[in-house]
Amino acid sequence: MPAEQFVSELNDQIGREFGAHQQYLAVAVCYDALTLPQLAAFFYRQAIEERGHAMMMVQYLLDAGEQPAIPGVAAPTTEFADVVEPVRVALEQEKRVTDQISGLAAIANEANDYVSAQFTQWFLKEQVEEVATMSDLLTVCERSKDRPSEIEDYLAREHPGEEGGDPTSPPVAGG
């Protein structure tokens, strides 16, 4: 049985993951409206991924016999100054999520809740990848902000689309 504080914090994290889903959806729509299809597709995929993370957490709680909470989320930012700002927002969000997941791992470890601690390890690995990806994309966006077609070329070359799923990822509720 997971530690009570871990369950509470994981339920809060479910809300934050759904909030990240909404923010990435807003970013994707922004890029879609600017006719930047590679950026739009990249962030639509990111939105789906964040929703998946929330659903993995839901499934973990269900499997552990705990009640998942599906909280409401604040409205995402939908207006951006330029093509760079949405990626800057995304990177800040990924850094916050890394801190939040690290906090979850710490709670589990302090409570000797080794099963929950193990559950958080996949998310920590995922966050390293997410921060690196967004950092690289921000660098490209800053360098090419006046030439968005170069950003599109970068994404087409470096992030061409759906990759195979991670066989080590936790199961997704409803999946």
Residues 6+ apart with CB under 8 A from 63: 171
- pLDDT, one tens digit per residue, over 22-58 is 999 999 999 999 999 999 999 999 999 999 999 999 9
Residue 171 has pLDDT above 90, yes or no: no
- pLDDT, one tens digit per residue, over 107-143 is 999 999 999 999 999 999 999 999 999 999 999 999 9
Q: How many residues are listed for the chain in this entry? A: 175
- Would you identify the CATH topology of the domain 4-70+78-158? Ferritin (1.20.1260)
User: What was the pLDDT predicted at 163?
Assistant: 67
Is 27 in contact with 89 (CB distance < 8 Å)?
A: yes
- pLDDT, one tens digit per residue, over 134-158 is 999 999 999 999 999 999 999 999 9
134 three-class SS: helix
Residues 6+ apart with CB under 8 A from 81: none
User: What was the pLDDT predicted at 131?
Assistant: 98
Domain edges within the chain: 4-70+78-158
